[in-house]
Structure 1
């Protein structure tokens, strides 16, 4: 799949629960929206990554990745774990600025 290095490395680091490696791919003013909550800036995103990684145990499988234009990608991941419902397909909607992630929206 044709993913930017930022997205590919972020996904690998996030799945490995390597917060520092994952956060390195965000712009300083980046925003992550997950479960209806916005996290602005790398400090808030670092906190979100740490809590998201520890709240539940789950496995992920990359289902698809679509490059929408030069800056936007839609990545679908299949998750199974001990979270409510146990199974979900989530869209990870990335917006890049240069080589880094400026925005990430995670939603069904």
Structure 2
């Protein structure tokens, strides 16, 4: 039996992961998306979110934005570029 090259390596990560905040706030969605992109448990992320960005400030920024706001926040952490969009979408792109 031959195994395809993509199945032989467990260290292959997606080029990006997108998640939408269903009932959570942007900071929770960031943690879940980063954990998914890095294939790790959200509780095992190091450093903690508050050491990368102020989660209360992030949540407040998007809570205070009006319905017609075109708001995007981008920052780096955990070797990834994280982009938070209005509407609750988060995109995580791991570094290469």
| TM-score band, normalised by shorter chain | 0.3 to 0.5
Greater share of strand: 1
TM-score, L = length of structure 2? 0.35
TM-score, L = length of structure 1? 0.32
Q: Please say which structure displays the higher CA radius of gyration.
A: 2
Greater relative CO, 1 or 2 (CA 8 Å, sep 6+):
2
